[in-house]
Structure 1
Amino acid sequence: MSPSIRNLGSFVREQRNVANLTQSELAKMVGISEETLSAIERNKRPISRSVLTPLFTALGVEPEKIQAMTGLHAGVPVPAQVTPNPQELSALEAIATPACYQDIHTYRIVAANAAARVALPGLAPGTSLVEWLMTDPRSRRVVGDWEKAAHGFVYSLKVLALGAMEPEISGPIIETCRRAPEWERMWNTRPVDPRPFDTLIHIHPETGVEREMYITSFAVQFPRSGWWLWMLSPVRESDSAPAG
Protein backbone atom coordinates (compact mmCIF):
# COMPACT_ATOMS: atom_id res chain seq x y z
CA MET A 1 0.00 0.00 0.00
CA SER A 2 1.31 3.46 -0.87
CA PRO A 3 2.53 5.53 2.12
CA SER A 4 0.20 8.39 2.99
CA ILE A 5 0.16 11.82 4.60
CA ARG A 6 -2.61 12.84 7.00
CA ASN A 7 -4.15 16.12 8.12
CA LEU A 8 -3.40 18.30 5.10
CA GLY A 9 -7.07 18.69 4.23
CA SER A 10 -7.33 22.28 5.46
CA PHE A 11 -4.40 23.28 3.29
CA VAL A 12 -5.84 21.53 0.23
CA ARG A 13 -9.22 23.22 0.72
CA GLU A 14 -7.64 26.66 1.20
CA GLN A 15 -5.48 26.33 -1.91
CA ARG A 16 -8.41 25.05 -3.98
CA ASN A 17 -10.42 28.11 -3.00
CA VAL A 18 -7.50 30.40 -3.83
CA ALA A 19 -7.30 28.77 -7.27
CA ASN A 20 -11.09 29.23 -7.74
CA LEU A 21 -11.59 25.54 -8.41
CA THR A 22 -14.59 23.47 -7.45
CA GLN A 23 -14.08 20.06 -5.87
CA SER A 24 -15.32 18.50 -9.10
CA GLU A 25 -12.84 20.45 -11.24
CA LEU A 26 -9.86 19.67 -9.02
CA ALA A 27 -10.79 16.00 -8.68
CA LYS A 28 -10.88 15.65 -12.49
CA MET A 29 -7.49 17.35 -12.83
CA VAL A 30 -5.93 14.95 -10.33
CA GLY A 31 -7.75 11.83 -11.51
CA ILE A 32 -9.60 11.01 -8.29
CA SER A 33 -13.27 10.99 -7.41
CA GLU A 34 -14.99 14.03 -5.96
CA GLU A 35 -15.91 11.91 -2.94
CA THR A 36 -12.23 11.12 -2.32
CA LEU A 37 -11.26 14.78 -2.56
CA SER A 38 -14.06 15.75 -0.19
CA ALA A 39 -12.83 13.20 2.35
CA ILE A 40 -9.24 14.50 2.01
CA GLU A 41 -10.34 18.09 2.62
CA ARG A 42 -12.22 17.03 5.75
CA ASN A 43 -9.16 15.11 7.00
CA LYS A 44 -11.21 11.93 6.83
CA ARG A 45 -8.83 10.30 4.37
CA PRO A 46 -5.03 10.47 4.12
CA ILE A 47 -3.39 11.55 0.88
CA SER A 48 -1.47 8.72 -0.76
CA ARG A 49 1.97 9.55 -2.08
CA SER A 50 0.76 8.70 -5.58
CA VAL A 51 -1.93 11.40 -5.32
CA LEU A 52 0.09 13.97 -3.40
CA THR A 53 2.27 15.26 -6.23
CA PRO A 54 -0.45 15.62 -8.92
CA LEU A 55 -2.78 17.16 -6.35
CA PHE A 56 -0.29 19.79 -5.22
CA THR A 57 0.84 20.40 -8.81
CA ALA A 58 -2.75 21.11 -9.81
CA LEU A 59 -2.97 23.56 -6.90
CA GLY A 60 0.14 25.40 -8.10
CA VAL A 61 2.40 24.34 -5.25
CA GLU A 62 6.05 24.40 -6.30
CA PRO A 63 7.60 20.89 -6.31
CA GLU A 64 10.35 21.90 -3.88
CA LYS A 65 7.73 23.01 -1.34
CA ILE A 66 5.84 19.71 -1.22
CA GLN A 67 8.30 17.86 0.99
CA ALA A 68 8.64 20.81 3.34
CA MET A 69 4.90 21.09 3.88
CA THR A 70 4.31 17.37 4.29
CA GLY A 71 7.19 16.93 6.72
CA LEU A 72 4.99 18.20 9.53
CA HIS A 73 2.74 15.19 9.17
CA ALA A 74 5.25 12.39 8.72
CA GLY A 75 5.51 11.19 12.32
CA VAL A 76 9.10 12.20 13.06
CA PRO A 77 10.57 10.54 16.20
CA VAL A 78 11.03 12.69 19.30
CA PRO A 79 14.62 13.25 20.51
CA ALA A 80 15.79 11.24 23.50
CA GLN A 81 16.36 14.47 25.46
CA VAL A 82 14.70 17.87 25.30
CA THR A 83 17.84 20.02 25.06
CA PRO A 84 20.61 19.88 22.46
CA ASN A 85 23.79 18.08 23.42
CA PRO A 86 27.29 19.64 23.06
CA GLN A 87 27.77 18.25 19.55
CA GLU A 88 24.47 19.73 18.35
CA LEU A 89 25.16 23.09 20.01
CA SER A 90 28.62 23.21 18.45
CA ALA A 91 27.11 22.65 15.00
CA LEU A 92 24.54 25.37 15.60
CA GLU A 93 27.10 27.92 16.79
CA ALA A 94 29.32 27.16 13.77
CA ILE A 95 26.66 28.71 11.49
CA ALA A 96 27.52 32.37 10.83
CA THR A 97 23.99 33.52 10.04
CA PRO A 98 20.97 33.51 12.42
CA ALA A 99 19.91 29.92 13.10
CA CYS A 100 18.00 27.94 15.70
CA TYR A 101 16.75 24.47 16.46
CA GLN A 102 12.97 24.18 16.43
CA ASP A 103 11.02 21.27 17.88
CA ILE A 104 9.11 19.63 15.04
CA HIS A 105 6.10 18.75 17.19
CA THR A 106 5.69 21.90 19.29
CA TYR A 107 7.06 24.63 16.96
CA ARG A 108 9.09 25.92 19.91
CA ILE A 109 12.73 27.01 19.80
CA VAL A 110 15.08 24.75 21.74
CA ALA A 111 18.32 26.65 21.02
CA ALA A 112 19.48 29.74 19.11
CA ASN A 113 23.00 30.57 17.96
CA ALA A 114 24.93 33.77 18.69
CA ALA A 115 23.94 35.35 15.37
CA ALA A 116 20.26 34.73 16.09
CA ARG A 117 20.52 36.12 19.61
CA VAL A 118 21.77 39.40 18.12
CA ALA A 119 19.69 39.57 14.94
CA LEU A 120 16.39 38.29 16.41
CA PRO A 121 16.27 39.71 19.96
CA GLY A 122 13.80 37.93 22.19
CA LEU A 123 13.61 34.75 20.13
CA ALA A 124 14.64 32.52 23.02
CA PRO A 125 14.25 28.83 23.84
CA GLY A 126 10.72 28.00 24.90
CA THR A 127 8.99 30.41 22.54
CA SER A 128 7.84 29.84 18.96
CA LEU A 129 8.50 31.96 15.90
CA VAL A 130 4.85 32.91 15.55
CA GLU A 131 4.60 33.91 19.24
CA TRP A 132 7.74 36.00 18.91
CA LEU A 133 6.42 37.75 15.81
CA MET A 134 3.01 38.45 17.30
CA THR A 135 3.87 39.46 20.88
CA ASP A 136 7.47 40.72 21.08
CA PRO A 137 7.73 44.41 20.04
CA ARG A 138 11.34 43.83 19.01
CA SER A 139 10.20 41.60 16.14
CA ARG A 140 8.50 44.58 14.52
CA ARG A 141 11.74 46.54 14.63
CA VAL A 142 13.91 43.86 13.02
CA VAL A 143 11.45 42.41 10.47
CA GLY A 144 10.96 45.06 7.82
CA ASP A 145 8.00 43.34 6.18
CA TRP A 146 6.48 42.40 9.54
CA GLU A 147 2.85 42.36 8.32
CA LYS A 148 3.62 39.90 5.52
CA ALA A 149 5.81 37.69 7.70
CA ALA A 150 3.44 37.62 10.68
CA HIS A 151 0.37 36.94 8.54
CA GLY A 152 2.25 34.18 6.74
CA PHE A 153 3.26 32.48 9.97
CA VAL A 154 -0.28 32.73 11.37
CA TYR A 155 -1.68 31.27 8.16
CA SER A 156 0.84 28.44 8.28
CA LEU A 157 -0.13 27.69 11.87
CA LYS A 158 -3.82 27.61 10.98
CA VAL A 159 -3.85 25.54 7.80
CA LEU A 160 -0.72 23.42 8.12
CA ALA A 161 0.37 22.96 11.70
CA LEU A 162 -2.93 22.48 13.52
CA GLY A 163 -3.51 19.16 11.80
CA ALA A 164 -0.21 17.86 13.16
CA MET A 165 -0.30 19.45 16.62
CA GLU A 166 -2.16 18.19 19.67
CA PRO A 167 -4.59 20.74 21.20
CA GLU A 168 -2.51 20.91 24.38
CA ILE A 169 0.42 22.09 22.23
CA SER A 170 -1.37 24.44 19.82
CA GLY A 171 -3.72 25.90 22.46
CA PRO A 172 -1.08 27.78 24.49
CA ILE A 173 0.53 29.16 21.32
CA ILE A 174 -2.80 30.50 20.09
CA GLU A 175 -3.69 31.96 23.49
CA THR A 176 -0.35 33.77 23.65
CA CYS A 177 -0.77 35.15 20.13
CA ARG A 178 -4.27 36.43 20.92
CA ARG A 179 -2.64 39.26 22.86
CA ALA A 180 -1.62 40.85 19.56
CA PRO A 181 -4.23 43.31 18.22
CA GLU A 182 -3.72 41.93 14.69
CA TRP A 183 -4.34 38.31 15.71
CA GLU A 184 -8.07 37.97 14.98
CA ARG A 185 -7.71 39.63 11.57
CA MET A 186 -4.73 37.50 10.58
CA TRP A 187 -6.28 34.30 11.93
CA ASN A 188 -9.54 34.84 10.06
CA THR A 189 -8.17 36.04 6.70
CA ARG A 190 -5.80 34.73 4.07
CA PRO A 191 -2.61 36.63 3.27
CA VAL A 192 -2.59 38.58 0.03
CA ASP A 193 -0.33 35.85 -1.32
CA PRO A 194 -1.12 32.65 0.62
CA ARG A 195 1.73 30.64 -0.88
CA PRO A 196 4.62 29.75 1.46
CA PHE A 197 7.12 32.61 1.31
CA ASP A 198 10.88 32.22 0.93
CA THR A 199 12.28 35.51 2.24
CA LEU A 200 11.81 38.31 4.72
CA ILE A 201 13.34 41.75 5.13
CA HIS A 202 15.66 41.85 8.13
CA ILE A 203 16.81 45.09 9.80
CA HIS A 204 19.95 44.59 11.89
CA PRO A 205 19.19 45.89 15.41
CA GLU A 206 22.68 47.33 15.90
CA THR A 207 23.53 48.78 12.49
CA GLY A 208 20.09 49.45 11.02
CA VAL A 209 21.17 47.80 7.78
CA GLU A 210 18.19 46.35 5.91
CA ARG A 211 18.66 43.16 3.94
CA GLU A 212 16.50 40.55 2.27
CA MET A 213 17.08 37.13 3.82
CA TYR A 214 16.15 33.63 2.73
CA ILE A 215 14.17 31.50 5.18
CA THR A 216 15.40 27.91 5.12
CA SER A 217 14.57 24.89 7.25
CA PHE A 218 16.31 21.52 7.40
CA ALA A 219 15.33 18.33 9.16
CA VAL A 220 18.08 17.32 11.57
CA GLN A 221 19.14 13.70 11.00
CA PHE A 222 22.28 13.10 13.05
CA PRO A 223 23.14 12.64 15.84
CA ARG A 224 19.41 12.80 16.63
CA SER A 225 16.22 13.66 14.76
CA GLY A 226 13.07 15.44 15.89
CA TRP A 227 14.15 19.04 15.26
CA TRP A 228 14.33 21.46 12.40
CA LEU A 229 17.32 23.67 11.82
CA TRP A 230 15.67 27.02 10.95
CA MET A 231 17.92 29.74 9.59
CA LEU A 232 18.19 33.03 7.72
CA SER A 233 20.77 33.62 5.01
CA PRO A 234 21.32 36.71 2.84
CA VAL A 235 19.87 36.95 -0.64
CA ARG A 236 22.80 37.68 -2.93
CA GLU A 237 22.51 40.32 -5.64
CA SER A 238 23.26 37.65 -8.24
CA ASP A 239 20.27 35.58 -7.02
CA SER A 240 17.80 38.18 -8.24
CA ALA A 241 19.75 39.46 -11.23
CA PRO A 242 18.25 38.58 -14.64
CA ALA A 243 20.05 35.85 -16.52
CA GLY A 244 22.21 37.22 -19.28
Structure 2
Amino acid sequence: MAESTALSVYLRERRLAAGLARAELATRTQLAPLLISQIESGALVPNPAMLQRLFDSLDVPLWYRKHILVRGLPAVEPGSAPSTPSAEDLADLSSLTHPACLARFPTMDMLAANSDYQRLFPGLGAGVNMLEWMFLNPAAKKVYLDWTTEAQLLVHAFRMLSPLAPTPRVTAITDSCGQSPDWDPIWTSEVRPQDIARRHLRLRERSTGLERRMMLRIYDPAFPNRPWWLYRLIPVR
Protein backbone atom coordinates (compact mmCIF):
# COMPACT_ATOMS: atom_id res chain seq x y z
CA MET A 1 0.00 0.00 0.00
CA ALA A 2 1.31 3.44 -0.89
CA GLU A 3 2.25 5.76 1.95
CA SER A 4 0.75 9.23 1.79
CA THR A 5 3.19 12.12 1.64
CA ALA A 6 2.52 15.58 3.04
CA LEU A 7 2.09 16.70 -0.58
CA SER A 8 -0.54 14.04 -1.35
CA VAL A 9 -2.42 14.94 1.84
CA TYR A 10 -2.19 18.63 0.98
CA LEU A 11 -3.60 18.14 -2.52
CA ARG A 12 -6.45 16.00 -1.22
CA GLU A 13 -7.33 18.54 1.48
CA ARG A 14 -7.22 21.42 -1.00
CA ARG A 15 -9.56 19.52 -3.33
CA LEU A 16 -12.00 18.86 -0.50
CA ALA A 17 -11.82 22.48 0.65
CA ALA A 18 -12.67 23.54 -2.90
CA GLY A 19 -15.71 21.25 -2.86
CA LEU A 20 -14.50 19.20 -5.82
CA ALA A 21 -14.95 15.50 -6.46
CA ARG A 22 -11.97 13.66 -7.93
CA ALA A 23 -13.77 13.45 -11.27
CA GLU A 24 -14.31 17.22 -11.30
CA LEU A 25 -10.64 17.89 -10.55
CA ALA A 26 -9.69 15.40 -13.27
CA THR A 27 -11.78 17.37 -15.75
CA ARG A 28 -10.24 20.68 -14.69
CA THR A 29 -6.69 19.38 -14.89
CA GLN A 30 -7.23 17.15 -17.92
CA LEU A 31 -5.71 14.29 -15.95
CA ALA A 32 -7.25 10.83 -15.70
CA PRO A 33 -9.33 10.24 -12.52
CA LEU A 34 -7.06 7.26 -11.76
CA LEU A 35 -4.03 9.58 -11.73
CA ILE A 36 -5.78 11.93 -9.29
CA SER A 37 -6.52 8.97 -7.02
CA GLN A 38 -2.92 7.72 -7.22
CA ILE A 39 -1.50 11.18 -6.49
CA GLU A 40 -3.77 11.65 -3.47
CA SER A 41 -2.90 8.21 -2.08
CA GLY A 42 0.84 8.80 -2.45
CA ALA A 43 1.21 6.02 -5.03
CA LEU A 44 2.31 8.54 -7.66
CA VAL A 45 4.49 11.62 -7.22
CA PRO A 46 3.24 14.19 -9.75
CA ASN A 47 5.75 15.55 -12.24
CA PRO A 48 6.16 19.34 -12.68
CA ALA A 49 3.56 19.55 -15.46
CA MET A 50 1.00 17.70 -13.34
CA LEU A 51 1.75 19.90 -10.33
CA GLN A 52 1.27 23.02 -12.42
CA ARG A 53 -2.17 21.82 -13.50
CA LEU A 54 -3.14 20.76 -9.99
CA PHE A 55 -1.98 23.99 -8.32
CA ASP A 56 -3.68 26.11 -10.98
CA SER A 57 -6.94 24.17 -10.76
CA LEU A 58 -6.95 24.32 -6.95
CA ASP A 59 -6.16 28.06 -6.92
CA VAL A 60 -2.96 27.63 -4.91
CA PRO A 61 -1.22 31.04 -4.85
CA LEU A 62 2.16 31.18 -6.58
CA TRP A 63 3.95 32.49 -3.48
CA TYR A 64 3.04 29.34 -1.47
CA ARG A 65 3.98 26.72 -4.04
CA LYS A 66 7.69 26.43 -3.28
CA HIS A 67 7.02 26.03 0.44
CA ILE A 68 4.39 23.37 -0.26
CA LEU A 69 6.90 21.37 -2.30
CA VAL A 70 9.69 21.77 0.26
CA ARG A 71 7.41 20.64 3.09
CA GLY A 72 5.36 18.19 1.08
CA LEU A 73 7.96 15.97 -0.57
CA PRO A 74 10.33 13.59 1.24
CA ALA A 75 13.52 15.33 2.33
CA VAL A 76 16.63 14.67 0.25
CA GLU A 77 19.10 16.13 2.76
CA PRO A 78 20.94 13.56 4.89
CA GLY A 79 20.10 13.56 8.58
CA SER A 80 17.44 15.63 10.31
CA ALA A 81 17.28 19.35 10.97
CA PRO A 82 17.15 20.58 14.60
CA SER A 83 13.74 21.30 16.09
CA THR A 84 14.92 24.33 18.06
CA PRO A 85 17.48 27.08 17.32
CA SER A 86 21.05 26.41 18.42
CA ALA A 87 23.26 28.91 20.22
CA GLU A 88 24.76 29.79 16.82
CA ASP A 89 21.29 30.35 15.34
CA LEU A 90 20.39 32.68 18.21
CA ALA A 91 23.67 34.57 17.87
CA ASP A 92 22.93 35.03 14.17
CA LEU A 93 19.46 36.37 15.00
CA SER A 94 20.80 38.74 17.66
CA SER A 95 23.36 40.16 15.24
CA LEU A 96 20.63 41.67 13.06
CA THR A 97 20.17 45.38 13.68
CA HIS A 98 16.42 45.49 13.02
CA PRO A 99 13.37 43.48 14.20
CA ALA A 100 13.66 39.78 13.32
CA CYS A 101 12.35 36.44 14.51
CA LEU A 102 12.40 32.71 13.75
CA ALA A 103 9.03 31.01 13.28
CA ARG A 104 7.63 27.71 12.04
CA PHE A 105 5.24 27.81 9.14
CA PRO A 106 2.41 27.21 8.61
CA THR A 107 1.58 26.99 12.33
CA MET A 108 3.40 30.30 12.97
CA ASP A 109 4.85 29.13 16.26
CA MET A 110 7.59 31.49 17.40
CA LEU A 111 10.96 29.93 18.19
CA ALA A 112 12.98 33.07 18.92
CA ALA A 113 12.89 36.84 18.49
CA ASN A 114 15.60 39.45 18.87
CA SER A 115 15.25 42.36 21.28
CA ASP A 116 14.16 44.84 18.59
CA TYR A 117 11.32 42.54 17.55
CA GLN A 118 10.13 42.03 21.12
CA ARG A 119 10.15 45.78 21.76
CA LEU A 120 8.02 46.38 18.67
CA PHE A 121 5.64 43.46 19.38
CA PRO A 122 5.18 43.22 23.17
CA GLY A 123 4.40 39.71 24.33
CA LEU A 124 5.42 38.08 21.05
CA GLY A 125 8.50 35.93 21.62
CA ALA A 126 9.67 32.33 21.88
CA GLY A 127 6.86 29.92 22.70
CA VAL A 128 4.10 32.27 21.53
CA ASN A 129 1.97 31.66 18.45
CA MET A 130 1.71 34.57 15.99
CA LEU A 131 -1.95 33.93 15.23
CA GLU A 132 -2.95 33.67 18.88
CA TRP A 133 -1.05 36.88 19.65
CA MET A 134 -2.70 38.65 16.72
CA PHE A 135 -6.23 37.72 17.78
CA LEU A 136 -6.02 37.45 21.57
CA ASN A 137 -3.46 40.07 22.66
CA PRO A 138 -4.88 43.63 22.76
CA ALA A 139 -1.41 44.96 21.91
CA ALA A 140 -1.76 43.66 18.34
CA LYS A 141 -4.37 46.23 17.30
CA LYS A 142 -2.25 48.99 18.80
CA VAL A 143 0.90 47.92 16.97
CA TYR A 144 -0.61 47.20 13.53
CA LEU A 145 -2.16 50.31 12.00
CA ASP A 146 -3.71 48.07 9.33
CA TRP A 147 -4.65 45.28 11.71
CA THR A 148 -7.49 43.78 9.67
CA THR A 149 -5.38 43.48 6.52
CA GLU A 150 -2.42 41.93 8.35
CA ALA A 151 -4.70 39.52 10.22
CA GLN A 152 -6.33 38.46 6.94
CA LEU A 153 -2.94 37.75 5.39
CA LEU A 154 -1.78 35.66 8.35
CA VAL A 155 -5.01 33.67 8.38
CA HIS A 156 -4.94 33.18 4.61
CA ALA A 157 -1.43 31.69 4.79
CA PHE A 158 -2.45 29.47 7.70
CA ARG A 159 -5.62 28.32 5.92
CA MET A 160 -3.80 27.55 2.66
CA LEU A 161 -0.86 25.72 4.23
CA SER A 162 -2.37 24.07 7.32
CA PRO A 163 -2.76 20.65 5.59
CA LEU A 164 1.06 20.45 5.83
CA ALA A 165 0.98 20.74 9.64
CA PRO A 166 -0.03 18.18 12.28
CA THR A 167 -3.82 18.18 12.64
CA PRO A 168 -3.83 18.38 16.48
CA ARG A 169 -1.69 21.54 16.37
CA VAL A 170 -3.89 23.15 13.72
CA THR A 171 -6.99 22.32 15.77
CA ALA A 172 -5.45 23.75 18.94
CA ILE A 173 -4.63 27.04 17.19
CA THR A 174 -8.05 27.42 15.58
CA ASP A 175 -9.84 26.59 18.84
CA SER A 176 -7.75 29.13 20.72
CA CYS A 177 -8.14 31.90 18.14
CA GLY A 178 -11.85 31.12 17.91
CA GLN A 179 -12.27 32.82 21.29
CA SER A 180 -11.87 36.13 19.45
CA PRO A 181 -14.99 37.60 17.79
CA ASP A 182 -12.73 38.66 14.92
CA TRP A 183 -11.67 35.11 14.04
CA ASP A 184 -14.67 33.77 12.12
CA PRO A 185 -15.20 36.87 9.91
CA ILE A 186 -11.52 36.96 8.99
CA TRP A 187 -11.31 33.19 8.45
CA THR A 188 -14.06 33.38 5.84
CA SER A 189 -12.81 36.58 4.17
CA GLU A 190 -10.64 36.72 1.07
CA VAL A 191 -7.44 38.72 0.74
CA ARG A 192 -6.99 41.23 -2.05
CA PRO A 193 -4.05 40.83 -4.47
CA GLN A 194 -2.96 44.41 -3.78
CA ASP A 195 -2.67 43.62 -0.06
CA ILE A 196 -0.44 40.62 -0.70
CA ALA A 197 1.78 42.75 -2.94
CA ARG A 198 2.01 45.56 -0.39
CA ARG A 199 5.46 47.06 -0.06
CA HIS A 200 5.31 48.19 3.56
CA LEU A 201 3.82 47.37 6.94
CA ARG A 202 2.55 50.29 8.99
CA LEU A 203 3.37 49.85 12.67
CA ARG A 204 3.10 52.04 15.75
CA GLU A 205 6.13 52.15 18.01
CA ARG A 206 5.03 51.66 21.60
CA SER A 207 7.71 53.81 23.21
CA THR A 208 7.19 56.89 21.03
CA GLY A 209 3.71 56.44 19.56
CA LEU A 210 5.17 57.22 16.14
CA GLU A 211 4.26 55.39 12.95
CA ARG A 212 7.00 53.26 11.42
CA ARG A 213 7.00 51.84 7.91
CA MET A 214 8.79 48.53 7.56
CA MET A 215 9.60 46.30 4.59
CA LEU A 216 8.76 42.66 5.22
CA ARG A 217 11.30 40.03 4.18
CA ILE A 218 10.95 36.27 4.78
CA TYR A 219 13.85 33.86 4.26
CA ASP A 220 13.97 30.05 4.17
CA PRO A 221 17.40 29.01 5.53
CA ALA A 222 19.30 26.83 3.06
CA PHE A 223 22.72 26.47 4.70
CA PRO A 224 22.60 25.23 7.28
CA ASN A 225 19.18 23.78 6.55
CA ARG A 226 16.58 24.76 9.13
CA PRO A 227 12.85 23.89 9.44
CA TRP A 228 11.80 27.46 10.18
CA TRP A 229 11.68 30.83 8.46
CA LEU A 230 13.58 33.99 9.25
CA TYR A 231 11.15 36.89 9.39
CA ARG A 232 12.76 40.34 9.07
CA LEU A 233 11.38 43.87 9.18
CA ILE A 234 13.59 46.45 7.48
CA PRO A 235 12.97 50.12 8.35
CA VAL A 236 12.07 52.32 5.39
CA ARG A 237 14.40 55.31 5.29
TM-score between both structures, scaled by the size of structure 2: 0.73
Moved more, 114-123 or 150-159: 150-159
| CA gap 1:220/1:60 in 2 versus in 1, 3 angstroms | closer
Cα deviation per residue 1:198-242 (whole Å; 9 max; x = unaligned)? 543222222333344333322223445222112222457xxxxxx
SS of structure 1 residue aligned to 2:29: helix
Q: How far apart are the structure 2 equivalents of 1:52 and 1:225?
A: 25
**Other-structure match for 2:7:** 5
Cα deviation per residue 1:77-135 (whole Å; 9 max; x = unaligned)? 7544x442221111101122221111357531111011111111111111221111111
**Other-structure match for 1:167:** 167
Query: Do the aligned partners of 2:68 and 2:164 also contact (CA within 8 Å) in 1?
Result: no
1:200-239 superposed matches below 5 A: 200-234=201-235
Q: How far apart are the structure 2 equivalents of 1:167 and 1:61?
A: 22
1:1-244 superposed matches below 5 A: 5-6=7-8, 7-11=10-14, 23=25, 26-28=28-30, 32-33=31-32, 43-44=40-41, 47-56=46-55, 59=59, 61-62=61-62, 65-74=64-73, 79-80=81-82, 82-104=83-105, 106-161=107-162, 163-187=163-187, 189-193=188-192, 197-199=196-198, 200-234=201-235
CA drift of 1:25 comes to 7.0
Aligned residues: 221
Moved more, 123-132 or 104-113: 104-113
Q: Which runs of 5+ in 1 are unaligned?
A: 237-244
Counterpart residue type for residue 150 of structure 1 = A
| CA gap 1:24/1:8 in 2 versus in 1, 3 angstroms | closer
Q: How far apart are the structure 2 equivalents of 1:168 and 1:91?
A: 32
Identity %: 24
SS of structure 2 residue aligned to 1:220: coil
Q: How far apart are the structure 1 equivalents of 2:47 and 2:171?
A: 29
CA drift of 1:146 comes to 1.0
Counterpart residue type for residue 179 of structure 1 = Q
Counterpart residue type for residue 147 of structure 2 = W
Q: How far apart are the structure 1 equivalents of 2:129 and 2:98?
A: 19
CA drift of 1:50 comes to 3.0
Counterpart residue type for residue 114 of structure 1 = S
Query: Do the aligned partners of 1:5 and 1:49 also contact (CA within 8 Å) in 2?
Result: no
Query: Do the aligned partners of 2:6 and 2:72 also contact (CA within 8 Å) in 1?
Result: no
Counterpart residue type for residue 230 of structure 1 = Y
CA RMSD of aligned residues (A): 3.6
